[in-house]
Amino acid sequence: MLNRLLNLPYPWELGLMLLTLHVALLANPGSSWALAAMMAHYGLFLIWQPIWRNEQKLSPMAVLLFLAVGIVLLNGINWWLLAFWHALLIGLLGGRVFSSQARQESIAYLLAMAYLLGMLLLWVEPRILGKVASIENISWLAQYVLPIFPANVLLLRIKRDMEVARTLDFFYSLMLFLLVVILVLASFAIERISQLDYPLILLRVLFSISGVMLALSWLWDPRAGFSGLGQLLSRYLLSVGMPFEQWLQRVATSADTARSSADFLDAAMRELSLLPWVNGGTWHTDSNNGTFGEASVHRANFIYHDFRLTLYTHWQLSPAITLHVKLLVQLMGEFYESKRREEQMHSAAYMRAVYETGARLTHDIKNLLQSLSALCTAAERIGNETNLVALIQRQLPQLTQRLQLTLDKLQAPETIQVETINATFWWIRLRDRYRDSGIMMTAKRIPPDDEVPQELFDSVLDNLLQNALDKRRANNNVKIAVTLLAGDNGISIKVEDTGSAIPEDIASQMFKSILPSQTGLGIGLYHAARQAEFLHYDLQLAKNEDGKVSFLLSPPAA
């Protein structure tokens, strides 16, 4: 039956608790009616109380505390005790008002506070001061009008499934309790000193408290110089329950040292489990999840993007601690997202390296196939067997060597071996390879001892010449020329054609990124430029005009 009542959609326990208190106040404190009404009132208070949940098992200490309060309240009932009981109820209700988010629930608490404050000022306090006669003409308000407030509380509909967790803001409860106590004690002190009528005493006390509250509100957030009490209190609240700076430093260290986002979350959860009020928790992300500690009755859920955390605590979290934990969860979420982005960037960089290595090797193999095709074409045209054998003897070792270099790069893509070859010998083999391609080749004063990096020159020249040959296939009038230049810094080579100029948007990004190509992979010149940069050579588009497009591979400056 009690469970059925607790699930009713009305705050019946609060309304009945106030109505039974009203009956006890109207009866004489020593009468049997007052005692019976107070017993019913205290029982309803135990059902309503916002500190322990109704389904929670009470500890022996809590049971003894409730019994002690009940014995004192029933056996020592008088107007002073009722005044302090009113102050306690106002404090508890005030703590719930500021922590409640449901509109109907807040209205119920405000009506209850208005009733308690009205009864305290119009009924209880005049009897403490012995000033009942001074407000005799308005006592009917306390007897017949104020009970309307708890009656309206009974009519308010609150859905239990939408009701927020029962949390009590200790700071606001304590502040309201002290204000009511000051109101009662200050009225008593002024009455003993001045012997004024009760309305005048009440006005003095209310105006004095209002002035003090106004001064405190200004000191809370002043306009000139002083940071204010709000800043001092905020520093205190931000350090409630945990050493914030130390915890943040340890989590940041974990973010730096963790190898993955999962490792970071494990380390952060270990740090979170060390907090004195945390009993355990569970966390979930899109990729993994985990648990730590043990579950308890009190739980709080926090969500930040893809990171979801459920904390089990020893007691119900206050609003200040809840705000604190939200900040910590947001920091953990930011660190977690940072580690995830780092993993994604590392994976993307690895995949890009794999792609570029494969594309570069594929392009090298394509150049080898083109060289083999040119050799086969030359073999078909040469009728003299002696010349054919000499051509094959010159070209096959070079093709074998280039194929071996390609296989070496495939086995160890990060290892780059620089092998040089005599410039004159390399130039002779290049002319033999493109002898029947119609390319004009000119060399100017090649020093006999000059060396060139074989793989770089082969890769760059094959790419440049194949692009020029593709351009000539589209226009037979295009002429191609290769010039070998010898300078003080080393050997340079220039490839020039008479085709159309390269579009400006492509020319501006050439050698800087991978460009789309209709005849190839669009990656040859990009990797050729990276290879030249590694060896400190400079590959550039020397001229880009219609009828004169030239590329220049030059050695590093002295």
CA distances 250 to 269, 310, 490, Å, are 11, 21, 57
Domains in the chain: boundaries: 2-235, 239-343, 349-554
The CA distance from 78 to 34, in Å, is: 10
146: pLDDT strictly greater than 80: yes
Say whether domain 349-554 belongs to CATH 3.30.565.10: yes
Q: Of 151, 168, 131, 158, nearest to 53 (Cα)?
A: 168
Angle at CA of residue 535, ends 531 and 541, nearest 5°: 60
- Per-residue pLDDT, 416: 53
Confidence of residue 7 (pLDDT cuts 50, 70, 90): very low
Give the pLDDT score at 23: 92
Q: Provide mean pLDDT across the span 471-489.
A: 87
Is pLDDT above 90 for 17? yes
SS (H, E, C) 395-459: HHHHHHHHHHHHHHHHHCCCCCCCCEEEHHHHHHHHHHHCCCCCCEEEEECCCCCCEEEHHHHHH
Round to whole Å and give the CA distance between 93 and 112: 8
Q: What is the pLDDT of residue 9?
A: 43
Closest by CA to 141, choosing from 121, 111, 112, is: 121
Q: Tell me if 50 sits within 8 A of 92, measured CB to CB.
A: yes
pLDDT tens track for 154-185: 888 765 544 444 556 777 888 889 999 999 99
What is the band of 13 on the pLDDT scale with cuts at 50, 70, 90? confident
The predicted pLDDT at position 147 comes to 93
Question: For residue 520, is pLDDT > 60?
Answer: no
Residue 405 has a pLDDT of: 62
Number of neighbouring beta carbons within 10 Å of residue 396 = 12
* DSSP conformation class of 145: I
Sorting pLDDT into bands at 50, 70 and 90, what band is 367?
Answer: low
For 202-256, give the DSSP string: HHHHHHHHHHHHHHHHHHHS-SSS---HHHHHHHHHTTTTS-HHHHHHHHHHHHH
Closest listed residue to residue 254, CA positions, set 326, 336, 325: 336
Highest mean pLDDT among 312-321, 376-385, 544-553 belongs to: 544-553
The tens digit of pLDDT for each residue in 86-132 reads 999 999 888 777 666 567 788 888 899 999 999 999 999 999 988 88
Average pLDDT over residues 5-12: 53
pLDDT digits (tens, 9 = 90+) for 40-55: 999 999 888 877 665 5
What are the structure tokens assigned to 64, written together? Answer: 């003894």
Instruction: Count CB neighbours of 142 within 10 A.
Output: 22
Helix (H) or strand (E) holding 290: strand 289-293
pLDDT higher than 90, residue 406:
no
User: What span, in angstroms and rounded, lies between the C-alpha atoms of 182 and 91?
Assistant: 13
Find the mean pLDDT for residues 333-342.
Answer: 80
Strands 440-444 and 538-545: unpaired
Q: How far apart are CA 396 and CA 376, in angstroms?
A: 11
- The per-residue pLDDT of the chain, averaged, comes to 78
Distance CA 123, CA 135 (A): 9
Q: Which of 6-15, 228-237, 264-273 has the highest mean pLDDT?
A: 264-273
Give whichever of 60-74, 174-188, 293-307, 350-364 has the largest mean pLDDT.
174-188
279-282-288 Cα angle (round to 5): 150
Average pLDDT over residues 255-282: 80
Is the pLDDT higher at 222 or at 5? 222
* pLDDT tens figures, 55-88: 566 678 878 888 888 888 888 888 999 999 999 9
Supply the pLDDT for residue 155. Answer: 85
Percent of the chain with pLDDT over 90: 15
**Does the structure show a pLDDT above 50 at 366?**
yes
